[in-house]
Amino acid sequence: MTVAAMPLSNSGRVSLKQGGGGRAMRALIERLFIRDFAAMPFDGVGLAAMDDGAAIPMGDEWLVITTDSHVIHPIFFPGGDIGRISICGTVNDLAMMGATRILGLTCGVILEEGFPLEQLEAIQRSIVATCLEAGTVIVTGDTKVMGSGEIDGIAINTTGIAMTKRVIRDNALRVGDRIIVTGTIGDHGLAVMAARHGLELEGDLKSDVAPLNSLIALATAAMPEAITAMKDPTRGGLASALHEMASKSNVGVMLREASVPVTEAVRAAGEILGIDPLHVANEGKAVMGVRPEDADRMLAILRSHPLGRDAAIIGTASRRGRAH
């Protein structure tokens, strides 16, 4: 599950003013969408958990389900497009809960009348290619067209279902756990912002958008109990993901900022735009808590996978109140 900017303005209207990932937004989401939904009887990990998805007990396993609506400008950006991000976002939300055996994805598309067919076909090719890369398939879908002015371009909702023997939560960090990120931070957010501002930058600044299920499957198959908590640092970035994991787990996090992998291109773009790479979205990275005795081996396993070759230990979960 991803919750996005929806703070309440003074006028009693939904407002974008306070940007993404903030507390005001979270408060409103909780107030409006979580309160009553979460009160419904449900025997599993439901909305009240505000995790990346829900988990429903099925025999001795869990069925994990997650949904995400994707709107992004520009819809084609360096390293990806809205089609690729729609698939990866949902595959990764499933993977973050440990669910890497994907049963299928759904794809609901809302289009603006007049949307160029050539772009639609490019997005569809990207969806197909990303599904193949993730080893999954679109099993059902839906398409709606709205009049010009009713929607700006295209919005894609993707829902995914997957099975797992063990659900990994984002609220189970323990004091002493090592914090690992699976690669460089800030690539997606800065690539998209640079594209949005028409910024010409030297070097290879592109989104990291990628399906993480094979990386996480490798890690959980080798060490089924090593990961104590996991989240993908999407909207709000690594800072927000760590804050949420720590706060829900009732621990702090001692972050060694110098250990956080950041490419030169991202660092340079961040300086030009005045944006901290730790606060922007990633679309192909996981941040996990790992038991201290397993951390070095987990790091080696992650680094053996192409999507984890820049993985790093970046900190330690500490007693609450010592976070910074």
- What part of residues 129-148 is at the interface with a copy of itself (CB under 8 A)? 131-132, 137-147
Q: Which of 69, 254, 291, 323 binds a copy of itself (CB under 8 A)?
A: 69
Nearest approach, Cβ of residue 57 and a copy of itself (Å): 10
Closer of 44 and 292 to a copy of itself (Cβ): 44
Which lies closer to a copy of itself via its Cβ, residue 53 or residue 233? 53
Binding flag, residue 261, a copy of itself (CB under 8 A)? no
What's the token pair of residue 46? 């439901």
The CA–CA distances, whole Å, from 255 to 65, 142, 239, 275, 283 equal: 31, 43, 10, 19, 21
What backbone torsions phi and psi does residue 25 show, to the nearest 5 degrees?
A: -60, -50
Residue 104 as a binder of a copy of itself (CB under 8 A): the answer is yes
Q: Which stretch binds a copy of itself (CB under 8 A): 127-135, 252-260, 269-277, 298-306?
A: 127-135
Based on the shown chain and the rule CB under 8 A, indicate whether residue 121 belongs to the binding site for a copy of itself.
Answer: yes
Smallest gap from residue 115 Cβ to a copy of itself (A): 4
Q: How do beta strands 178-181 and 287-290 pair?
A: antiparallel
261 contacts: CB under 8 Å, gap ≥ 6: 181, 183, 184, 185, 310, 312
Q: Does 24 bind a copy of itself (CB under 8 A)?
A: no
Query: Is the backbone peptide bond immediately before 74 cis, with ω within 30 degrees of 0?
Result: yes
- Closer Cβ to a copy of itself, 102 or 255, answer by number: 102
Closest CB to a copy of itself among residues 40, 258: 40
Please tell me the number of Cα atoms within 13 Å of 307 on its side-chain side.
Answer: 21
- Piece in contact with a copy of itself (CB under 8 A), picked from 116-124, 259-267, 281-289, 313-321: 116-124
CB of 292 to a copy of itself, least distance (A): 32
- Provide the minimum distance between the beta carbon of 320 and a copy of itself in the complex, in angstroms, as a whole number: 27
Stretch that binds a copy of itself, among 121-129, 180-188, 197-205, 220-228 (CB under 8 A): 121-129
Q: For helices 82-96 and 117-134, what crossing angle results, to 10°?
A: 30
Q: Which is nearer to a copy of itself, 132 or 221 (CB)?
A: 132
Exposure of 238 by Cβ count < 10 A (0-12 exposed, 13-18 middle, 19+ buried)?
A: buried
* Residue placing its CB nearer to a copy of itself in the complex, 136 or 214: 136
Q: Using the rule CB under 8 A, is 27 a contact of a copy of itself?
A: no
Residues 6+ apart with CB under 8 A from 170: 51, 52, 96, 229, 230, 231, 244, 245, 248, 249
Query: Between 51 and 177, whose beta carbon lies closer to a copy of itself?
Result: 51
Backbone angles phi and psi of 90, in degrees to 5:
-80, -40
Answer yes or no whether residue 117 interacts with a copy of itself by CB under 8 A: yes
For residue 125, the minimal CB distance to a copy of itself (Å) is 7
Stretch in the footprint of a copy of itself (CB under 8 A) among 8-16, 185-193, 264-272, 273-281: 8-16
Residues between 186 and 225 with contacts to a copy of itself, criterion CB under 8 A: none
**DSSP bridge partners of 8:** 14
User: Is 103 strand, coil or helix?
Assistant: strand
Comparing CA positions, the residue from 75, 73, 157, 159 lying closest to residue 118 is 75
Please, which of residues 143-182 interact with a copy of itself by CB under 8 A? 143-147, 149-152, 155, 157, 159, 161
107 binds a copy of itself (CB under 8 A): yes
How far out from the chain centre does Cα 321 lie? 26
